[in-house]
A and B are shown apart, each in its own frame.
Chain A
Amino acid sequence: MPQIITEENLRKLVDLLVKEKKLVVGPKKSGSMVLYEPLGTGSELNLDTLPRRSSKELYFPVCEEILRFRKEGGVVQVDDVDRSRFPETVLIGAPPCDAASPSILDAVFSWDYHDEFYLERRKKGTIIGIACTKCDDACFCSAVGLAPDAQQGSDLFLTPLKGGGFSCSAVTEKGEKLVAAHAPLFSEAASAEPVEFPAQGMEKLDLVMIKQWLSGHFEDPLWESISDICIGCGACAFICPACHCFDINDEGSPDNGVRRKHWDACGFSKFTNHASGHNPRDVQNKRYRNRIMHKFKYYDDKFGKTLCTGCGRCVRACPVGIDIAEILNTINGK
Chain B
Amino acid sequence: MNSKAEKIKAASIDPAYYQAVTDSIRLAAVKLLEAGSVSAVIGYLPGRRTGTASPAVVTDPEQAAKLIFSPACVNNLSLYLTKAKKGVLKKGRIAIVAKGCDMRALAGLIGESQIKRDDLVIIGVACAGVYGRCSDRPARLDEESIARKCRECSVHLPEGADLVLGTLPELPEPDPSEARELARIEAMTAAERWAFWKEHFSRCIRCLACRQVCPFCYCEQCLCDKNRPQAVEQSPRPAGNTAWHLVRAMHLAGRCGGCAECERVCPMDIPLNLLNRRMAKELKELYDYEAGLVPQEKGPLNQYKEDDDQSFIK
Contact = CB atoms under 8 A, between A and B. Distances in A.
A276 interface: no
A31 B203 contact: yes
B235 A251 contact: yes
A322 B207 contact: no
B233 A251 contact: yes
A62 B50 contact: no
A262 B207 contact: no
Interface in B12-71: 47-50, 52-57
Interface in A239-269: 239, 247, 249, 251, 260, 262-263, 265, 268
Contacts of B236: 62-63, 262-263
A53 B266 CA distance: 12
A63 B235 contact: yes
Contact of A33 (B212, B225, B268): B268
A326 interface: yes
B250 interface: no
B265 A30 contact: no
B155 to A, nearest CB: 22
Given A52-B268, A228-B57, A325 B209 contact: no
Nearest to A33: B269
A32 B203 CA distance: 11
A326 B48 contact: yes
Nearest to A327: B48
B205 A62 contact: yes
Contacts of B235: 63, 249, 251, 260, 262
A185 to B, nearest CB: 33
Contacts of B53: 321
A249 B267 CA distance: 24
A138 B47 CA distance: 11
A228 B213 CA distance: 14
B267 to A, nearest CB: 5
Nearest to A258: B235
Interface size class of B (residues with CB under 8 A): 35 or more
A238 interface: yes
Contact of A235 (B75, B135, B207, B230): B207
A262 B79 CA distance: 28
B193 interface: no
Contact of A231 (B79, B87, B199): B79
Interface residues of A, number: 43
A323 B208 contact: no
A227 B296 CA distance: 33
A260 B237 CA distance: 10
A231 B75 CA distance: 11
A227 to B, nearest CB: 10
Contact of B48 (A251, A262, A270, A323): A323
Contact of A263 (B56, B205, B209): B205
Given A63-B236, A317-B267, A323-B49, A229 B54 contact: yes
Nearest to A259: B235
Contacts of B87: 228, 283-284
B211 interface: yes
B14 to A, nearest CB: 24
B216 to A, nearest CB: 13
Interface string B204-234: 0111110111000000000001010010011
Contacts of A229: 54-57, 80, 88
A231 B88 CA distance: 11
A320 B75 contact: yes
Nearest to B133: A32
A96 interface: no
Contacts of B268: 33, 52
Interface string A295-334: 0000000000000000000011101111101100000000
A233 interface: yes
A262 B234 CA distance: 9
Contacts of A251: 230, 233-235, 240
Contacts of A326: 47-48
A234 interface: yes
B261 interface: yes
Contacts of B208: 233-234, 268
A265 B208 CA distance: 10
A323 B234 contact: no
A231 B207 contact: no
Interface of B: 47-50, 52-57, 75, 79-80, 85-88, 135, 199-200, 203, 205-209, 211-213, 225, 227, 230, 233-237, 240, 261, 264-265, 267-269
Given A32-B269, A235-B265, A326-B48, 18 more contacts: A31-B199, A31-B203, A35-B203, A52-B267, A63-B236, A231-B85, A234-B205, A234-B207, A234-B208, A239-B267, A251-B240, A262-B206, A284-B85, A284-B88, A319-B213, A323-B47, A323-B48, A323-B49
7 contacts: A52-B267, A62-B205, A231-B213, A234-B206, A234-B207, A239-B267, A283-B86
